[in-house]
Amino acid sequence: MENTKVSIALAGNPNSGKTTIFNSVTGARQHVGNYPGVTVEKREGYRKFKNHELLVVDLPGTYSLTAHSLDELVARNFIVQDKPDVIVDILDAGNLERNLYLAVQLLELERPMVVALNMVDVAESIGTKIDEKVLSEKLGVPVVRTIGNRHTGLDDLLAAAVKVAGDKTQKTFVINYGDYVESKITEISNLLVEVKHELRYPQRWLALKLLENDTEIVNAVKGLAEGARVLTAVDAARKSLQDSAGMDPELAIANLRYQFVGTLSQQVITSKREGVLTASDKIDRVLTNRMLGLPVFLGLMWLLFNFVFAAGAYPQDWIEQGMGALGNWAGQTMPEGDLRSLVVDGIIGGVGGVISFLPNIIILFLGIAVLEDTGYMARAAFIMDRVMHAVGLHGKSFIPLLLGFGCSVPAIMGTRTLENPRDRLVTILVTPLMSCSARLPVYTLLIAAFFHESIAGTVLFSIYILGIFLAIVMARIFRSVLFTGEPEPFVMELPPYRIPTIQSILMHMWERSVLYLKKAGTIILAVSILVWFMVNYPSQVDFSKDYEALAAQAEASFSQQVDEEIVKPLNIGAIEDNKDLEVLIADLTAIDEEFAAESEELEEESAELAALTAEKDAKVKELETTNPELYPLAARYLELKGESDEQLAAYESEQAHEKLEHSYAGQIGKFIEPAIQPLGFDWKSGIGLVASFAAKEVLVSTMGTIYNLGTEDEGSVALQQALADDPNFTPLVAYSLMVFVLIYSPCLAALAVIKRESNSWKWPAFACVYTTALAWIMSFLVYQIGTLMGY
């Protein structure tokens, strides 16, 4: 038999098991993108079945095809315009009547169709038995019993779909809406035939949608040559229906359709136990309880939040170490120059920054997949809706905002759980105001430098509270100005609790991770290279000092002192000529390096540090006792070398500072200084803010370079002291800077993901502009009011 291609569209209500069947049928052969021009996710999968190549498209889950939402419009347009060979409608057998409403609308589109009666095991467990043969007879299409998470009936489903697609015919399915409505449908249908339109919709369906005042269909008819004539007749028909039915025609037609569905359900459901308390009902008595629901939910979110960033810390550290090792290898292998700097600092550094987020992404979507597939996510939205509704957000918005305290990137991706585009965009726009962990090194540095430890915790807490307050205010403003309209009513089906399948969870994690790397990674890589260019060019700088000559002079001075104080007294030509001295110097160096590595994370007055110090002193004393004559010379050599290395590092850092000042980034810092002076900042802070546009924690290393200290971490006492000694820096300026860092533009990773999630550059640009403007206003108020109060 010849190999043929068959396109299958999977349709169904949310929580009908559609995605489980999609994953079971297609496995790893999936592609995830967006439908052209919209932000609705498009999932396609492939499967070889017997002699057929199947293209399976997972349509957005919808309750109807009335085009009230973007999901409904996309699903409808795909069926009508792309014309898949067959539609497979997934029905939740336990909620048959509600699911049949979409099924009959799909049948009215006059496309070949197969019905999958899914989760029949769950339905039977609550006493619902369905006669699929009667259902098939009434609908005029094949009906196949399936249990998606057990792969039961899927081969039969595919066989039926292939057969129906091969027949290329579909029995006409007509709901009788009553004599009066039917007469109007016939009237409009005849008129449409008369005007000879070229719209691709079925004739009867088109007339029905015009009577329902479907916005997209009305606009399509307006574009016809005789569209005005048709719409005039439609308006008259609608008015006549309104007068006769006493209600809006759309509502009247929907009621008639529900009556048909109700009658059909009674005919095919052969038995049902009423008043059965299911396992889901029993669990919900606790999880959605008025008193216990919120604490349980907050506890689960706290666990997810900590799990994401605690468990992700280990692989994230491994990735950072791996990228660091790769960078060191490239730096040692490649000759010194711009190309090496580009590869090491721009490309490896940029990509490493992106990949290091991947463990958090994977773990986040592991948690989300489990919550969604078990059915708890719907309960979470139900529990939090009242709280979030007060600030113009949806109940589901709480989860991304909570995750925003760890990292804005997975938090923004987490807004995919929000169906309404307005709620989703508002949540995306305010999520960056949550103080992510990347900002914490900046806070730690500035608080340690300018605030006493007795109030340090209070200062840090105030920054976090400010972010929460601003997110609430901006959410209310956005809903009142940008995204006007009544708040979305909270109508959500609470599906039965289920045990998630491993395949579904793994597919969920895999597709999001690959998407993150492909989309966000490429954008971040390009912009990271741009940032590298701005910091490193122009490469030719007229330095105020001859740093090469100063370095050579320092090295010569070191060599001269070694000759005079160590080499000559021993009557040797070089240190290497005395093997015992060389070994002793190496041993002392090893002791120092080991102590530095082991004490790096220890607090200054801790018992562990005291023990390490005592152990180090004992090892040094042992070497001194063993080598009483050579020890003073070895110690002096290390002292001289330390002074020399310190001097060379100072020259190198001073040169880097001067080069940075003359770089494009430095010029920008000078250029923007007048704009940030009212906030208490000078050009050096300006450079730090420009550099940390890529990632907020970069501000720390940038300030270390600016203050001639090289790259420092947030625990560096030297950098803290340098900031404290700067006359331009005060506690008020430090707090103003923390406020600015809290609010201003999301990092490159977050902006890239906003672009990915909104499918437009408009929203990341808007997020960048509004947060920076808000940061300026808030920092201005902090600094100016603080100055007036004498701080």
| Residue 772 assigned to a binding site | no
**DSSP assignment, residue 566?**
I
Question: Is 204 in contact with 285 (CB distance < 8 Å)?
Answer: no
Instruction: Consult the annotation and say whether 15 binds a ligand.
Output: yes
Per residue in 652-699, pLDDT tens? 878 877 887 788 888 888 898 999 999 999 888 888 888 788 777 777
Q: What is the distance between the alpha carbons of residues 328 and 344, in angstroms, rounded to a whole number?
A: 8
- Residue 393 near residue 426 (C-beta atoms within 8 A): yes
Burial class (CB in 10 A: 0-12, 13-18, 19+), 673: middle
Q: Which residue has the higher pLDDT, 413 or 52?
A: 52
Q: Is residue 61 annotated as involved in ligand binding?
A: yes
In terms of DSSP H, where are the helices of 631-730?
Answer: 631-662, 664-676, 683-691, 698-706, 717-725
The residue ranking higher by pLDDT, 751 or 487, is 751
User: Mean of the pLDDT values across residues 127-154?
Assistant: 89
Find out whether 166 is annotated in a ligand binding site: no
Q: Would you place residue 715 in the very low, low, confident or very high pLDDT band (cuts 50, 70, 90)?
A: very low
Q: What is the dihedral of CA 159, 163, 166, 169, to 10 degrees?
A: -140
Was 202 annotated as part of a binding site? no
Q: How confident is the model at residue 154 (pLDDT cuts 50, 70, 90)?
A: very high
Omega of the bond leading into 538 within 30 degrees of 0 (cis): yes
Task: Report d(CA 218, CA 479) in Å as an integer.
Answer: 28
Question: What are residue 130's phi and psi, to 5 degrees?
Answer: -120, 135
User: Nearest-CA neighbor of 684 among 672, 694, 693?
Assistant: 672
CA angle (573, 574, 578) in 5-degree steps: 100
Dihedral, CA of residue 74, residue 76, residue 79 and residue 82, to nearest 10:
-50
Mean pLDDT along residues 543-570: 88
Q: Where are the alpha helices (H) located in 269-312, listed in sequence order?
A: 279-287, 293-311
**Cβ neighbours of residue 65 closer than 8 Å, sequence gap 6 or more:** 72, 75, 76, 102, 105, 106, 109
Question: How do 86-92 and 41-49 pair as beta strands?
Answer: unpaired
Neighbouring residues of 79: CB distance < 8 A, sequence distance ≥ 6: 9, 11, 59, 87, 106, 109, 111
Q: Tell me if 728 is assigned to a ligand binding site.
A: no
Determine the average pLDDT of the residues in 400-418.
75
Residue 19 known to bind ligand: yes
Confidence class for position 446, pLDDT limits 50, 70, 90:
confident
12 is in an annotated binding site: yes
536 is in an annotated binding site: no
On whether 13 is known to bind a ligand per the annotation, the reply is yes
Predicted local distance difference test score (pLDDT) of residue 476:
86
> And the tokens for 327?
């960078």
- Ligand-binding annotation for 38, yes or no, is yes
Question: Is the pLDDT score of 84 beyond 60?
Answer: yes
Binding site annotation covers 60?
yes
Quick check: 520 pLDDT over 60? no
- The answer to whether the annotation marks 16 as part of a ligand binding site is yes
| Burial classification of residue 392, based on how many CB atoms lie within 10 Å of its CB (0-12 exposed, 13-18 middle, 19 or more buried) | buried
Mean pLDDT of the chain: 81
* pLDDT computed for residue 516 by the predictor: 62
The Cα-based distances of 411 to 288, 397, 405 in angstroms read 24, 10, 9
Q: Is 121 labelled a binding residue?
A: yes
* Locus of tokens 């491994």: 318
pLDDT at position 20, please? 83
Structure tokens that stand for 69 in this block:
């939402």
HSE (side-chain half, CA atoms, 13 Å) at 753 = 27
Residue 36 confidence (pLDDT) = 47
Residue 282 to residue 294: CA distance in whole angstroms: 17
Q: Using an 8 Å Cβ cutoff, are 312 and 509 in contact?
A: no
Q: pLDDT grade, residue 491 (50/70/90)?
A: low
The region, left, alpha or beta by phi > 0 then psi within -120 to 50, assigned to residue 729 is beta
Positions of E strands within 26-67: 30-34, 41-49, 52-58
Asked if residue 466 has pLDDT above 70, the reply is yes
Structural domains for the chain = 4-167 (3.40.50.300), 179-271 (1.10.287.1770), 293-438+460-522 (no CATH), 532-540+656-788 (no CATH), 547-652 (no CATH)
In the DSSP assignment, the letter for residue 575 is G
CB 68 within 8 A of CB 209: no
Q: What is the pLDDT of residue 35?
A: 43
The residues pairing with 5 across neighbouring beta strands, listed in sequence order, are 53
Is there a binding annotation on residue 287?
A: no
Which residue in 265, 267, 264, 242 sits closest to 253, CA to CA? 242
In this predicted structure, which of 128-132, 212-216, 377-381 has the lowest mean pLDDT?
A: 377-381
* 269 conformational bin, left if phi > 0, alpha if psi -120 to 50, beta if neither: beta
Known binder of ligand: residue 37?
A: yes
Residue pair 200/81 in contact by the 8 Å Cβ criterion? yes
Mean pLDDT of 754-768: 88
- pLDDT confidence of 57, banded at 50, 70, 90? very high
Residue 677's pLDDT is what?
A: 92
DSSP helix/strand/coil, 6: strand
User: pLDDT tens digits, residue range 255-289?
Assistant: 889 999 999 999 998 765 555 566 666 777 777 77
Distance of CA 538 to the CA centre of its chain: 36
pLDDT confidence of residue 56: 93
Compute the distance between CA of residue 636 and CA of residue 614 in angstroms, rounded to an integer: 21
Written as six digits, the tokens of 413 are: 């991706």
Nearest residue to 775 (alpha-carbon basis) of 671, 674, 675, 698: 675
Q: Count CA atoms closer than 13 A to 313's CA, side-chain side.
A: 9
Q: Is 118 one of the annotated binding-site residues?
A: yes
Taking Cα atoms as reference points, which of 761, 742, 738, 737 lies closest to residue 751? 761
Helices and strands per DSSP (H, E), number in the chain: 37, 9
Tell me the β-bridge partners of 114. Answer: 88
Please name every residue paired with 33 in a beta bridge, in sequence order, or none if there are none: 42
Per-residue pLDDT, averaged over 14-37, amounts to: 72
Distance CA 268, CA 99 (A): 14
User: Residue 26 annotated as binding?
Assistant: yes
How many whole angstroms separate alpha carbon 310 and alpha carbon 314? 8
Tell me if 40 is assigned to a ligand binding site. Answer: yes
**pLDDT given for residue 89 in this prediction:** 95
The candidate with the shortest Cα–Cα distance to 490, out of 615, 385, 599, 631, is: 385
Q: Is 3 annotated as a binding residue?
A: no
496 annotated binding-site participant: no
Q: What pLDDT score was predicted for residue 270?
A: 78
- Residues counted in the chain: 791
